[in-house]
Structure 1
Amino acid sequence: MCSYKKYRQSALAMALVLVHGFTQADSYVDVLDLPAKSSALAIRSPLLGVTRAGERLVAVGQRGHILYCDEGGDAWQQATVPVSADLNAVSFPSSTQGWAVGNDGVVLHSSDAGLTWKKQLDGRQIGALLVEHYGALSRVEPGNEQWLKFVEDGHRMIEEGADKPLLDVWFANEKTGYVVGAFNLILRTDDGGQHWTPFQDRTDNPQGLHLNAIAYTGDALYIVGEQGLLRKWNESAQRFVALDTPYQGSFFGVIGKPGEVLVYGLRGHVFRSIDGGSSWTPLDTGLQVSITAATRGADGRYRLFSQAGHMLLSSGDDARLKLQNQPDLAPSAGAVSAPDGGLVLVGSHGARALNIK
């Protein structure tokens, strides 16, 4: 009797587990279909990217949080967002039109300066895009193994599901833009995100390395990534061509102005080029921690920020970097100059404004 009683108890416990599991499965909603929750603590949650939309600041972060501010970084409000996926970057080519990207291949669009957002694309669709685009090319050139490889990549993405993150976004205007991400994931639109064209075949990246960031420096468009990946848009060739890299570690960002470009990344490494990326000069940061964010102020000087919160300020024609004293160090994932001349940083502790006047 005793063993039978134990058996019944075990069976009942297993039944409860199964019922509970099915209930959870029935109530599960994919983060790509679950709107971001409104929270008073959103401003203190991890934020990963920030930009300007005219005079407005817009920041993106975990759990689909998008915040906007019209007061120089002091008073933030939460936007209406249709997903709960983590968001990694945001770009506004005009004061009203903006795009944000994040995990699970999500692409969001706003037409009202960041107040509300709509989903344009997610990772459940990207694999099919690759299959359709490169499948058509393979039918025109059946002997081209490159097309077949990209078709296989598309089928693999479909099988694996929406798990490939988009890490950065850049728009030249309200129509033309790029999104980049893991494993050489790169797409281009020429109609404001209504349609997207895979650009894997137009990016020199046979190893399929992660594309961490894309940025325009005023006279050239660059992509940086892992293992020292450096690519530059070649207008005549209509592709991102490889540049000789000065470093074999990962780059996390690129910033610059006409005639000058800086790339930065792991272990405090920063390199500068004044010849369009043909040659690079290392800049001494005095740091061993990763450089994860940068911005250029109205005075033309660069400010670079480390994973630990250090701030480096450039000076002189050779962009020498000097460490600035700060009372409170906090990890920085993004930086932008505010309309009032100040500086806004985002990171693991949310957003904070710095007075640098």
Structure 2
Amino acid sequence: MISRSVKWAAGAGLALAGLAGGAGTAYGVGDVLEIPALETDLAAESLLLDVEHIGDRLVAVGERGHIVYSDDGGRNWTQADVPVSTTLTGVDFPEGNSQHGWAVGHSGVILHTSDGGETWNHQYDGREGIPALVSHYEKRIESKEAEIEAAEDEDRVADLEWELEDLVYTRDILQEDLDSFGPWQPMLDVWFRDAEYGIAIGAYNLIYRTQNGGETWQPISGRIDNPNRFHLNEITQVEGGDLYIAGESGFIYRSTDDGSSWESIEPGYPGSFFGVVGTGDGGVLAYGLRGNIYRSGNGEEWTAVDSGSDRTLNAGDVNDSGEVVIVANDGAVVYSDDGGQSFSEYVRPARHSYVGVTLIPDDSLVLVGERGAVRTDRRGKGQEADAPTAELE
């Protein structure tokens, strides 16, 4: 059984064991960032962690640097040319752009494609990103010390000193991890507004922004009120333009200005959220552990919705008709045809867990998870078995 938490937990466990590359691969962090993904007929049948639908093409990413794409609705897959062999956790193409896309993964890696996902280039990774984040915190520490020096009210000074202590602690932890284990912290998801502007997020409050198509990335962790460094699991844009980040320990973060600033939201459930999806009618759904779904019409007030499931909900998608599909552990697929007002659950007989899903126009779903990619009908039933054939070129 897997869950969306494998995106960060696997990276942490493997790095601490000195095996940051993936199960059974005795490579260090630097190795998996330099060794290209191995070509294999099993790429589309191995662990896949995210899938993106762009135009007539599907692109999925997963373990060992595997990226596969399909031009026939997920019936056959071709393995892409990828320069790393670390686990990849998220993929995104800007709306209306079928050529430029980005993928992220363990060791803070960020990849870019300019040919629709057929070949990928390395843009960034934790070897640059974590030192940049340490510098980011050092600048914040200097700024906070100046605030303390200028403050006159004793209560204000006490508050600022508490904030300074948090900043120093975070900087020191980042530096100690870097010195002991290398830049193992995983990126978990990525979103791009267009071919220039994008945001990548990850475990332990990692969040970076680019304004030049990924040529350079800047840490912006200080823009989110997340002093406990909870994981940032997924980023998505909903109808109307608001950005949401699904976070750990009951937190969601919303931005109304493309990520320049963020507000913290607590829908009412103390467990982790793994994703947010719009409902097509202006509503928003947040989903996560133990089948929990919360719905909001405006992002301010949230109400629990019965998902019909007690399994961890990992990924979701919505179409223009208001159909919502969320996939879960143990082969569960929860479906709504009323914009997320109500759901029904179907459990696939093989009970393989899924961590990615996309609705495609032929009334099918493509699910990805522990056994790769599979096509089903809208409710997760039937069609191809959980073992498609990869077609390599």
Partner of 2:276: 254
Residue 151 to residue 325, structure 1, CA distance change in 2 (3 Å): closer
Is 2:368 the partner of 1:346? yes
Partner of 2:245: 223
- Matched AA of 2:296: S
- Matched AA of 2:178: I
- Matched AA of 1:194: E
Q: Which has the larger displacement, 311-320 or 340-349?
A: 311-320
Give the deviation of 1:151 after TM superposition.
4.6
Gaps of 5+ in 2: 1-25, 148-163, 380-393
Q: TM-score, normalised by structure 2?
A: 0.78
Partner of 2:124: 121
Give the deviation of 1:204 after TM superposition.
1.2
**How do residues 152-167 of structure 1 correspond to structure 2 at under 5 angstroms?**
152=172, 154-159=174-179, 160-167=181-188
1:227 is paired with a residue of what secondary structure? Answer: coil
CA–CA distance in structure 2, aligned partners of residues 157 and 29 of structure 1: 15
**How do residues 311-326 of structure 1 correspond to structure 2 at under 5 angstroms?**
311-316=333-338, 319-324=341-346, 326=348
**Structure with the larger RCO, 1 or 2 (CA within 8 Å, 6+ apart):** 2
8 Å Cα contact 1:130/1:150 also seen in 2: no
Give the deviation of 1:356 after TM superposition.
3.4
Percent identity over paired residues: 40
Partner of 2:35: 34
Partner of 1:20: none
Please point out which of 101, 105, 114 is paired with 2:104. Answer: 101
Residue 27 to residue 136, structure 1, CA distance change in 2 (3 Å): closer
1:247 is paired with a residue of what secondary structure? Answer: coil
| Deviation digits for residues 267-321 of structure 1 (CA, Å, limit 9, x no counterpart) | 1111100122x11111112322101121113422101111112121113366211
Give the deviation of 1:184 after TM superposition.
0.6
Partner of 1:267: 290
Q: Which has the larger displacement, 249-258 or 345-354?
A: 249-258
| Deviation digits for residues 154-206 of structure 1 (CA, Å, limit 9, x no counterpart) | 53353241210111111111111111111111111111111111111100101
Partner of 1:174: 195
Partner of 1:4: none
CA–CA distance in structure 2, aligned partners of residues 183 and 150 of structure 1: 10
Partner of 2:228: 207
Residue 274 to residue 103, structure 1, CA distance change in 2 (3 Å): same
CA–CA distance in structure 2, aligned partners of residues 223 and 182 of structure 1: 12
1:228 is paired with a residue of what secondary structure? Answer: coil
8 Å Cα contact 2:29/2:182 also seen in 1: no
Q: TM-score, normalised by structure 1?
A: 0.86
Give the deviation of 1:55 after TM superposition.
1.5
Residue 153 to residue 240, structure 1, CA distance change in 2 (3 Å): farther
Gaps of 5+ in 1: 1-24
Give the deviation of 1:353 after TM superposition.
0.9
| Deviation digits for residues 247-279 of structure 1 (CA, Å, limit 9, x no counterpart) | 001111110145211011111111100122x11
RMSD across aligned C-alpha pairs, in angstroms? Answer: 2.6
8 Å Cα contact 1:97/1:110 also seen in 2: yes
**How do residues 17-32 of structure 1 correspond to structure 2 at under 5 angstroms?**
30-32=31-33
CA–CA distance in structure 2, aligned partners of residues 200 and 87 of structure 1: 21
8 Å Cα contact 2:267/2:294 also seen in 1: no
Is 2:302 the partner of 1:301? no
